[in-house]
Amino acid sequence: MHEHDDSLDEEIRRLLARARRIAVLGASARKDRASYRVPAYLARHGYEIVPVNPRYAGDELHGHVVLSSLTEIAQVIDIVDVFRRAGDVAGHLEEILAMRPLPGAVWLQLGIRNDAAARAWKARGITVIQDRCTMIEHQRGLVGGVGAAPE
Protein backbone atom coordinates (compact mmCIF):
# COMPACT_ATOMS: atom_id res chain seq x y z
CA MET A 1 0.00 0.00 0.00
CA HIS A 2 1.24 3.47 -0.86
CA GLU A 3 1.61 6.27 1.62
CA HIS A 4 -0.93 9.06 1.22
CA ASP A 5 0.50 11.97 -0.79
CA ASP A 6 -1.83 14.91 -1.36
CA SER A 7 0.24 16.39 -4.20
CA LEU A 8 0.36 13.05 -6.04
CA ASP A 9 -3.37 12.58 -5.45
CA GLU A 10 -4.01 15.99 -7.00
CA GLU A 11 -1.81 15.17 -10.00
CA ILE A 12 -3.59 11.83 -10.50
CA ARG A 13 -6.99 13.50 -10.13
CA ARG A 14 -6.10 16.07 -12.79
CA LEU A 15 -4.78 13.41 -15.16
CA LEU A 16 -7.81 11.16 -14.86
CA ALA A 17 -10.28 14.06 -15.04
CA ARG A 18 -8.74 15.53 -18.20
CA ALA A 19 -7.85 12.31 -20.03
CA ARG A 20 -10.09 11.09 -22.82
CA ARG A 21 -7.83 8.73 -24.78
CA ILE A 22 -5.54 6.16 -23.15
CA ALA A 23 -3.05 4.03 -25.09
CA VAL A 24 -2.55 0.72 -23.29
CA LEU A 25 0.94 -0.61 -23.97
CA GLY A 26 0.93 -4.35 -23.38
CA ALA A 27 -2.85 -4.72 -23.66
CA SER A 28 -3.95 -8.34 -23.39
CA ALA A 29 -6.88 -10.30 -24.76
CA ARG A 30 -6.65 -12.68 -21.78
CA LYS A 31 -9.49 -11.75 -19.44
CA ASP A 32 -7.61 -13.08 -16.39
CA ARG A 33 -4.90 -10.41 -16.76
CA ALA A 34 -4.85 -6.91 -15.33
CA SER A 35 -3.79 -5.72 -18.79
CA TYR A 36 -7.29 -6.75 -19.95
CA ARG A 37 -9.37 -5.94 -16.86
CA VAL A 38 -7.99 -2.43 -16.21
CA PRO A 39 -8.54 -1.07 -19.74
CA ALA A 40 -11.97 -2.76 -19.84
CA TYR A 41 -12.87 -0.92 -16.62
CA LEU A 42 -11.54 2.37 -18.01
CA ALA A 43 -13.52 1.90 -21.24
CA ARG A 44 -16.71 1.32 -19.20
CA HIS A 45 -16.02 4.62 -17.45
CA GLY A 46 -15.84 6.67 -20.62
CA TYR A 47 -12.19 6.57 -21.64
CA GLU A 48 -11.29 5.71 -25.24
CA ILE A 49 -8.82 2.83 -25.14
CA VAL A 50 -6.17 2.41 -27.83
CA PRO A 51 -4.73 -1.10 -27.28
CA VAL A 52 -1.09 -1.70 -28.28
CA ASN A 53 0.48 -5.14 -28.43
CA PRO A 54 2.20 -6.69 -31.49
CA ARG A 55 0.92 -10.13 -30.42
CA TYR A 56 -2.70 -9.05 -31.00
CA ALA A 57 -2.17 -6.49 -33.80
CA GLY A 58 -5.22 -6.30 -36.05
CA ASP A 59 -7.55 -7.91 -33.49
CA GLU A 60 -10.14 -5.86 -31.66
CA LEU A 61 -10.03 -5.09 -27.94
CA HIS A 62 -12.22 -2.66 -26.01
CA GLY A 63 -13.86 -1.48 -29.22
CA HIS A 64 -10.66 -0.62 -31.09
CA VAL A 65 -8.19 -2.38 -33.37
CA VAL A 66 -5.01 -3.39 -31.58
CA LEU A 67 -1.90 -1.65 -32.91
CA SER A 68 1.57 -3.16 -32.91
CA SER A 69 3.38 0.03 -31.85
CA LEU A 70 2.70 3.34 -30.12
CA THR A 71 4.14 5.14 -33.14
CA GLU A 72 1.18 3.89 -35.24
CA ILE A 73 -1.20 6.06 -33.23
CA ALA A 74 -2.37 9.10 -35.17
CA GLN A 75 -4.56 10.66 -32.45
CA VAL A 76 -3.61 12.72 -29.41
CA ILE A 77 -2.93 10.38 -26.47
CA ASP A 78 -3.56 11.73 -23.00
CA ILE A 79 -2.01 8.79 -21.10
CA VAL A 80 0.19 5.88 -22.14
CA ASP A 81 -0.76 3.21 -19.60
CA VAL A 82 2.13 0.74 -19.43
CA PHE A 83 1.61 -2.95 -18.67
CA ARG A 84 5.15 -4.18 -19.28
CA ARG A 85 7.76 -5.66 -16.96
CA ALA A 86 9.94 -3.03 -15.30
CA GLY A 87 12.95 -4.38 -17.20
CA ASP A 88 11.15 -3.84 -20.52
CA VAL A 89 10.20 -0.21 -19.88
CA ALA A 90 13.52 1.24 -21.07
CA GLY A 91 12.91 -0.42 -24.44
CA HIS A 92 9.85 1.82 -24.88
CA LEU A 93 11.57 5.08 -23.89
CA GLU A 94 12.36 6.20 -27.44
CA GLU A 95 9.09 4.82 -28.83
CA ILE A 96 7.15 7.06 -26.46
CA LEU A 97 9.38 10.05 -27.22
CA ALA A 98 8.79 9.45 -30.96
CA MET A 99 5.01 9.79 -30.59
CA ARG A 100 3.56 12.89 -32.26
CA PRO A 101 2.24 14.71 -30.48
CA LEU A 102 3.90 13.55 -27.28
CA PRO A 103 1.51 11.97 -24.79
CA GLY A 104 0.47 14.06 -21.81
CA ALA A 105 1.47 11.34 -19.37
CA VAL A 106 3.13 7.95 -19.04
CA TRP A 107 1.58 5.80 -16.33
CA LEU A 108 3.54 2.75 -15.14
CA GLN A 109 1.16 0.27 -13.57
CA LEU A 110 1.32 -1.16 -10.07
CA GLY A 111 4.70 -2.80 -9.43
CA ILE A 112 6.42 -1.06 -12.35
CA ARG A 113 9.12 1.59 -11.87
CA ASN A 114 11.89 2.89 -14.06
CA ASP A 115 13.36 6.08 -12.66
CA ALA A 116 15.77 6.66 -15.57
CA ALA A 117 12.98 6.47 -18.16
CA ALA A 118 10.77 8.62 -15.93
CA ARG A 119 13.46 11.32 -15.79
CA ALA A 120 13.81 11.28 -19.60
CA TRP A 121 10.05 11.58 -20.12
CA LYS A 122 9.75 14.34 -17.52
CA ALA A 123 12.59 16.23 -19.21
CA ARG A 124 10.42 16.34 -22.33
CA GLY A 125 7.44 17.68 -20.37
CA ILE A 126 5.57 14.38 -19.96
CA THR A 127 3.94 13.72 -16.59
CA VAL A 128 4.97 10.35 -15.14
CA ILE A 129 3.12 8.21 -12.60
CA GLN A 130 4.90 5.06 -11.40
CA ASP A 131 3.82 1.99 -9.45
CA ARG A 132 0.10 2.88 -9.42
CA CYS A 133 -2.95 1.25 -10.98
CA THR A 134 -5.21 3.49 -13.07
CA MET A 135 -8.29 1.46 -12.08
CA ILE A 136 -7.52 1.56 -8.36
CA GLU A 137 -6.82 5.28 -8.48
CA HIS A 138 -10.06 5.89 -10.40
CA GLN A 139 -11.99 3.79 -7.87
CA ARG A 140 -10.49 5.82 -5.01
CA GLY A 141 -12.79 8.60 -6.12
CA LEU A 142 -10.20 11.14 -7.17
CA VAL A 143 -12.16 11.99 -10.34
CA GLY A 144 -15.01 14.39 -9.71
CA GLY A 145 -14.96 13.55 -6.02
CA VAL A 146 -17.18 10.50 -6.58
CA GLY A 147 -15.62 7.07 -6.53
CA ALA A 148 -16.78 4.27 -8.76
CA ALA A 149 -17.93 1.09 -7.13
CA PRO A 150 -15.17 -1.54 -7.17
CA GLU A 151 -15.59 -4.19 -9.82
pLDDT above 50 (res 24):
yes
What is d(CA 151, CA 149) in angstroms, rounded to the nearest whole number?
6
pTM: 0.90
Closest among 123, 139, 25 to 77, alpha carbons compared: 25
Question: What pLDDT is stored for residue 3 in this prediction?
Answer: 53
Domains of the chain by start residue, with CATH: 6-139 (3.40.50.720)
Q: Which residues pair with 23 in a beta bridge?
A: 50, 80
Contact assessment for residue 118 and residue 130, using Cβ atoms and an 8 Å cutoff: yes
pLDDT digits over 118-139, tens only? Answer: 999 999 999 999 999 999 999 9
Q: Which residues pair with 21 in a beta bridge?
A: 48
Closest among 115, 57, 51 to 89, alpha carbons compared: 115
pLDDT digits over 59-102, tens only? Answer: 999 999 999 999 999 999 999 999 999 999 999 999 999 999 99
